[in-house]
């Protein structure tokens, strides 16, 4: 489909019972629907329809080697798709529904389109913790693949407007239910190797996952970008090697002063003021109380806001590398890279 065939704007409707019914009809026809989850808005397609899954890669401009997450409404739906194991059961019990994605071996006869998992022998699955997402999944009665509802490499959407701004008419329908709670994507744990590994820091703290698995957090950490980036490693987490979360503004991390022309993304009570704060073009604070969960919830919204205010350079104060602070720092590091 070429650009001129896309309508300019998507239809944004409230996620009411009627809205969900319409979304189900469209998904059944193989069309795309954006919907809220507790982390970010997802761009959904029926996971069992090859063409619908292909349409997601096209709408996002996403390389087809980067696999998608399969969303389901309940644990029972999973046995036909993936081979659950002891660790998977333990994590499912503790964190689902919730912001955790598990990468598991693909089950024989799995109905999910192989395109969704980019031909890998594994499938990434999660049960989202959002009433609209769960109602939609139950009403459709099939798994839904959903990457974040933004153009590939751009900021993830935490509001329906973000989706509309990023995808425009590439998504025909957006189910709107306000701002998402968690604000960063799910934590991804791979359970296909000899030991569980963290592939992406996200909405569930890695510390809590390590505690449930009875392992040291260091044993769980795998950094596919910084550490040991050999071919095997990049196959383990294909999407993680790409540029991501790019705002228009250039970010300068761990800043303790503001330079001429910069805006400031603050964190915590800015008492002993940041040097030069008075000259900042715009100051937004991720969390005045220094709460990393609040910082995660505000992160993408504030990066969008700097772009809307046409700030070209943003100084970002340091954020502690604990709990959801890991996910925030991971997104900021990637957002600061210029490819």
User: What are the phi and psi torsion angles at 43 (to 5°)?
Assistant: -105, 105
In whole angstroms, the minimum distance from the beta carbon of 145 to ligand TXA comes to 9
Of 99, 148, 159, 329, the one binding Mg ion (CB under 5 A) is 148
In whole angstroms, the minimum distance from the beta carbon of 192 to ligand TXA comes to 8
Comparison of 104 and 315: residue with beta carbon closer to ligand TXA: 104
122 interacts with Mg ion by CB under 5 A: no
42 interacts with ligand TXA by CB under 6 A: yes
Residue 146 interacting entry, from ligand TXA, Mg ion, none, C-beta within 5 to 8 Å by type: ligand TXA
166 interacts with Mg ion by CB under 5 A: no
Comparison of 37 and 49: residue with beta carbon closer to Mg ion: 37
159 interacts with Mg ion by CB under 5 A: no
187 interacts with Mg ion by CB under 5 A: no
Which range of residues in 95-103, 141-149, 312-320, 325-333 is near Mg ion by CB under 5 A?
141-149
In whole angstroms, the minimum distance from the beta carbon of 95 to Mg ion comes to 20
Q: Which of 69, 221, 255 is nearest to 156 (CA)?
A: 69
HEC-encoded secondary structure of the chain: CCHHHCCCCCEEEECCHHHHHHHHHHHHCCCCEEEECCCCEEEEEECCCHHHHHHHHHHHCCCCCCCCEEECCCHHHHCCCECCCHHHHHHHHHHCCCCEEEEEEECCCCCCCCCCCCCCCEEEEECCCCHHHHHHHHHHCCCEECCECCCCCECCCCCHHHHHHHHHHHCCEEEECCCCCCCCCCEEEECCCCCCEEEECCCCCHHHHHHHHCCCHHHHECCCCCCCCCHHHHHHCHHHHCCCCECCCEEECCCCECCCCCEEEECCCCCCCCECHHHCCCEEECCCCCCHHHHHHHHHHHHHHHHHCCCCEEEECCCCCCCCHHHHHHHHHHHHCCC
68 interacts with ligand TXA by CB under 6 A: yes
Which range of residues in 23-31, 211-219, 232-240, 263-271 is near ligand TXA by CB under 6 A?
232-240
Which range of residues in 45-53, 146-154, 175-183, 317-325 is near Mg ion by CB under 5 A?
146-154
183 interacts with ligand TXA by CB under 6 A: no
Phi-psi group of 154: left, alpha or beta (phi > 0 → left; psi -120 to 50 → alpha; rest → beta): beta
66 interacts with ligand TXA by CB under 6 A: yes
In whole angstroms, the minimum distance from the beta carbon of 248 to ligand TXA comes to 19
In whole angstroms, the minimum distance from the beta carbon of 288 to ligand TXA comes to 26
Of 15, 23, 26, 40, the one binding ligand TXA (CB under 6 A) is 40
Comparison of 53 and 199: residue with beta carbon closer to ligand TXA: 199
- Total residues in contact with Mg ion, by rule CB under 5 A: 1
- Total residues in contact with ligand TXA, by rule CB under 6 A: 27
136 interacts with ligand TXA by CB under 6 A: no
69 interacts with ligand TXA by CB under 6 A: yes
Residues 6+ apart with CB under 8 A from 174: 10, 11, 12, 13, 33, 34, 35, 41, 149, 160, 163, 164
Residue 276 interacting entry, from Mg ion, ligand TXA, none, C-beta within 5 to 8 Å by type: none
CA pair distance 109, 292, nearest whole angstrom: 42
166 interacts with ligand TXA by CB under 6 A: no
For β-strands 122-126 and 69-71, DSSP reports them as parallel
Query: Residues in the site for Mg ion, rule: CB under 5 A?
Result: 148
Query: Residues in the site for ligand TXA, rule: CB under 6 A?
Result: 37, 39-40, 42, 66-69, 101, 103, 117, 120, 122-124, 128, 146-148, 185-186, 188, 199, 237-240
């Amino acid at each position: 489909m070429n650009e001129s065939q896309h309508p300019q704007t998507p239809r944004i409707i409230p996620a009411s019972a009627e809205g969900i019914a319409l979304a189900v009809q469209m998904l059944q026809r193989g069309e795309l629907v954006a919907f809220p989850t507790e982390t970010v808005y997802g761009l959904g397609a029926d996971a069992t329809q090859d063409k619908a899954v292909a349409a997601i890669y096209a709408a996002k401009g996403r390389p087809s080697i980067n696999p998608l997450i399969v969303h389901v409404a309940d644990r029972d739906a999973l046995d036909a798709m993936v081979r659950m194991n002891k660790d998977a059961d333990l994590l499912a019990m503790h964190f689902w529904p919730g912001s955790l994605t598990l990468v598991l071996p693909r089950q024989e006869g799995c109905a999910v389109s192989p395109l969704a998992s980019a031909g890998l022998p594994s499938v990434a699955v999660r049960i989202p913790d959002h009433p609209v997402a769960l109602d939609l999944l139950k009403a459709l009665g099939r798994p839904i693949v959903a990457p974040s509802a933004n153009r590939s490499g751009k900021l993830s959407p935490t509001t329906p407007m973000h989706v509309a701004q990023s995808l425009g008419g590439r998504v025909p329908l957006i189910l709107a239910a306000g701002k998402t709670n968690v604000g960063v994507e799910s934590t991804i744990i791979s359970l296909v190797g000899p030991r569980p590994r963290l592939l992406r820091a996200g909405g569930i703290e890695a510390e809590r996952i390590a505690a449930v698995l009875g392992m040291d957090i260091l044993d769980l950490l795998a950094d596919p970008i910084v550490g040991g980036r050999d071919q095997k490693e990049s196959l383990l987490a294909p999407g993680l090697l790409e540029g991501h979360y790019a705002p228009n503004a250039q970010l300068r991390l761990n800043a303790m002063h503001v330079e001429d022309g910069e805006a400031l993304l603050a964190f915590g009570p800015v008492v002993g003021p940041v040097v030069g704060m008075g000259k900042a073009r715009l100051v937004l604070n991720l969390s005045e109380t220094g709460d990393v969960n609040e910082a995660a919830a505000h992160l993408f919204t504030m990066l969008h806001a700097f772009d809307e205010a046409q700030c070209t350079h943003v100084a970002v104060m340091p954020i502690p590398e604990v709990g959801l602070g890991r996910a925030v720092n991971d997104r900021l590091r990637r957002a600061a890279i210029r490819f």
